[in-house]
């Protein structure tokens, strides 16, 4: 372990973490950063080669059994679509061209399958749109438009909030019990699709869905974890920033930035006040965010996990750098408890609640945002820790495997496409020169697909 990280850990566990402590941290030279970026790129290639050899044309590679895995009865090329813009950013041109050729010629959404709106939108539509913007390949936009049209029936509920599943061939829908993240995290993609195709309906339907969700927030400004999209009634009143709610908040702010949408700006600003009032939990050992009842604001549980670790990035993007930095420090403590972060931790007891690690990116995403804004080398040191842990505990001879238990480091046979789209992308961007991607000219969707702020309509 480098002296930089020994120091970082010492202060973390001594509980004396502060900005000043790390202001003294030695910086990393450009050559050291370039070397780390090169190594991350190499590892992307390692995992991509595994996919290419054992799972080509399928959704994912199972990295232990070396078998392909498809989400549905027909592959939707999840890994190639999700990973394509990362390959482009990394300058892996032959691999990107080959993946794009596969997508252009083989991806076909006319399938009699019920797909999960949220996942398909953030991974596939997001990936198609960002790669279209990077390459100008019109086939990618055509595919996104075709997908968008096939998915539109999902909004045909009495409230306008989407059903959870839609059949891509018949347009039939199912799944009335949803949550804020699934209802409210479609607007960046559908909004960009509207901008690029000129079909305003995409924006309007996704925007209505967010507004309907926001209208149902409690009097104190919180949303719950479960909602029935037909009746509009809450089925779970647990408020938090965790999975199931997370990207609803993320898209309120990002919609305001990407589309200059004043409603989104107002909804974000008002939500942020409630989040910081009722969910933030400043404790002697640092800042955390837990759960509360959405109507009373009363604390219910003190859980924080890998998914919650997106929030420092969002706070930083909103301009609240102080809270962002404190929360990232807490997230880093969580990571170092077992050497890899668990999916859920009871931060009041510092006890692991869910010990899985499915190769999630959020803590790395936050380090990248904070390094972008502060240039504090401690975030590079954190990134090095994350990278080393991935190599030490998750690497296999064909890629990287999720962990079923971060305490025992037992691996499980899964390598989700977000590992290509997000985990390795944010790690690479953390170390790569800022010119690799102009942060201020894009907004990342929740799957790390960069969407251009100043994009014009397509001429197709
Ligand atoms: C990703 O698919 C997205 O980031 C989503 O918002 C929730 N988390 C997974 C990765 O952890």
> In this predicted structure, what is the pLDDT of residue 449?
99
pLDDT tier at 18, thresholds 50, 70, 90: very low
CA of 185 to the centre of ligand 1 (A): 11
Give the CB-side neighbour count of residue 151, counting CA atoms within 13 A. 29
> In this predicted structure, what is the pLDDT of residue 2?
59
CA of 102 to the centre of ligand 1 (A): 24
Q: Is the pLDDT of residue 23 over 50?
A: no
Query: What is the atom index within ligand 1 of the atom nearest the CA of 362?
Result: 11
pLDDT tier at 8, thresholds 50, 70, 90: low
Pocket test for ligand 1, best of 447, 448, 449, 450 (most atoms within 8 A of CB): 447
> In this predicted structure, what is the pLDDT of residue 257?
98
- Find out whether 240 and 289 touch, Cβ atoms under 8 Å: yes
> In this predicted structure, what is the pLDDT of residue 435?
97
CA of 447 to the centre of ligand 1 (A): 6
- Ligand 1 within 6 A of CB of 86: no
- Ligand 1 within 6 A of CB of 446: yes
Give the pLDDT confidence of 365-392 residue by residue, as tens digits: 999 999 999 999 999 999 999 999 999 9
- Alpha carbons 324 and 311: distance in angstroms, whole number: 7
Selected residue with higher pLDDT from 126 and 15: 126
Task: Kindly state the average pLDDT of the residues 271-297.
Answer: 98
- Ligand 1 within 6 A of CB of 62: no
- Ligand 1 within 6 A of CB of 423: no
- Alpha carbons 161 and 212: distance in angstroms, whole number: 7
Q: Is the pLDDT of residue 4 over 90?
A: no
Q: Considering only CA atoms, which residue is closest to atom 11 of ligand 1?
A: 360
CA of 148 to the centre of ligand 1 (A): 20
CA 234 distance to own-chain centroid: 25
pTM recorded for the entire structure: 0.95
> In this predicted structure, what is the pLDDT of residue 459?
45
pLDDT tier at 455, thresholds 50, 70, 90: confident
Q: Considering only CA atoms, which residue is closest to atom 3 of ligand 1?
A: 447
* Cα 133–Cα 370–Cα 214 angle in degrees, nearest 5: 70
Selected residue with higher pLDDT from 455 and 28: 28
* CB-based contacts of 117, cutoff 8 Å, min separation 6: 151, 154, 162, 163, 164, 165, 166, 182, 186
Give the position of tokens 């030695």.
26
Q: Is the pLDDT of residue 361 over 60?
A: yes
Percent of the chain with pLDDT over 90: 93
CA of 151 to the centre of ligand 1 (A): 20
Element containing residue 234 per DSSP (H, E): strand 234-236
> In this predicted structure, what is the pLDDT of residue 446?
98
Element containing residue 407 per DSSP (H, E): none
Q: Is the pLDDT of residue 335 over 80?
A: yes
Q: Is the pLDDT of residue 13 over 70?
A: no
Task: Kindly state the average pLDDT of the residues 251-261.
Answer: 98
Q: Is the pLDDT of residue 81 over 80?
A: yes
Task: Kindly state the average pLDDT of the residues 91-105.
Answer: 98
Average pLDDT, the chain: 95
- Alpha carbons 213 and 84: distance in angstroms, whole number: 32
pLDDT tier at 454, thresholds 50, 70, 90: confident
> In this predicted structure, what is the pLDDT of residue 47?
99
> In this predicted structure, what is the pLDDT of residue 79?
99
> In this predicted structure, what is the pLDDT of residue 26?
75
Task: Kindly state the average pLDDT of the residues 43-63.
Answer: 98
- Kindly list the structural domains of the chain, giving each domain's residue range(s) and its CATH number in brackets, ordered by start: 10-75+318-450 (1.50.10.10), 109-301 (1.50.10.10)
Query: What is the atom index within ligand 1 of the atom nearest the CA of 448?
Result: 4
CA of 23 to the centre of ligand 1 (A): 31
- Alpha carbons 370 and 326: distance in angstroms, whole number: 11
Q: Is the pLDDT of residue 172 over 90?
A: yes
- Alpha carbons 12 and 99: distance in angstroms, whole number: 42
Element containing residue 452 per DSSP (H, E): strand 450-452
Q: Considering only CA atoms, which residue is closest to atom 6 of ligand 1?
A: 446
Residue 349: count other Cβ atoms within 10 Å of its Cβ: 9
What single-letter DSSP state applies at residue 275?
A: I
């Amino acid at each position: 372990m480098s002296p930089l990280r020994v120091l970082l850990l010492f202060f973390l566990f001594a509980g004396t973490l502060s900005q000043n402590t790390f202001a003294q941290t030695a910086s990393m030279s450009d050559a050291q950063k370039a070397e780390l970026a090169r190594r991350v790129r190499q590892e992307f290639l390692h995992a991509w080669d595994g996919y290419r050899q054992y799972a080509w044309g399928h959704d994912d590679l199972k990295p232990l059994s070396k078998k392909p895995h498809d989400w549905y009865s027909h592959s939707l090329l999840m890994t190639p679509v999700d990973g394509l813009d990362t390959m482009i950013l990394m300058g892996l041109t032959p691999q990107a061209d080959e993946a794009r050729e596969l997508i252009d010629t083989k991806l076909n959404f006319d399938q009699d399958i019920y797909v999960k709106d949220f996942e398909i939108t953030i991974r596939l539509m997001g990936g198609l749109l960002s790669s279209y913007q990077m390459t100008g390949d019109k086939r990618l936009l055509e595919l996104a438009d075709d997908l968008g049209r096939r998915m539109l029936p999902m909004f045909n509920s009495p409230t306008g909030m989407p059903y959870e599943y839609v059949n891509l061939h018949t347009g039939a829908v199912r799944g009335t019990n949803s949550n804020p993240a699934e209802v409210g995290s479609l607007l960046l993609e559908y909004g960009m699709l509207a901008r690029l195709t000129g079909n305003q309906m995409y924006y309007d339907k996704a925007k209505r869905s967010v507004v309907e969700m926001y209208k149902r927030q409690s009097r104190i400004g919180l949303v719950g974890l479960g909602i029935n999209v037909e009746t509009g009634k809450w089925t779970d009143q647990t408020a938090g920033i965790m999975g199931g709610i997370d990207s609803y908040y993320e898209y309120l702010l990002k919609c305001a930035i990407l589309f200059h949408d004043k409603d989104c700006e107002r909804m974000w600003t008002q939500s942020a006040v409630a989040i910081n009032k009722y969910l933030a939990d400043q404790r002697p050992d640092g800042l955390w965010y837990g759960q509360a009842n959405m109507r009373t604001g009363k604390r219910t549980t003190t859980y924080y996990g890998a998914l919650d670790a997106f929030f420092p990035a969002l706070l930083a993007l909103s301009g609240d750098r102080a809270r962002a930095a404190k929360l990232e420090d807490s997230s880093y403590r969580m990571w170092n408890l077992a050497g890899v972060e668990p999916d859920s931790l009871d931060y009041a007891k510092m006890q692991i609640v869910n010990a899985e690690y499915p190769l999630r990116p959020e803590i790395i995403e936050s380090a990248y945002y904070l390094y972008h804004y502060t240039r504090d080398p401690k975030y590079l040191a954190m990134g090095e820790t994350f990278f080393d842990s991935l190599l030490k505990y998750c690497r296999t001879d064909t890629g990287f495997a999720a962990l079923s238990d971060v305490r025992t480091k037992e691996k499980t046979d899964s390598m989700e496409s977000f590992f290509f789209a997000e985990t390795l992308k944010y790690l690479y961007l953390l170390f790569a020169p800022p010119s690799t991607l102009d942060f201020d000219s894009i907004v990342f969707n929740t799957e790390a697909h960069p969407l251009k702020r100043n994009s014009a309509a397509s001429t197709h």
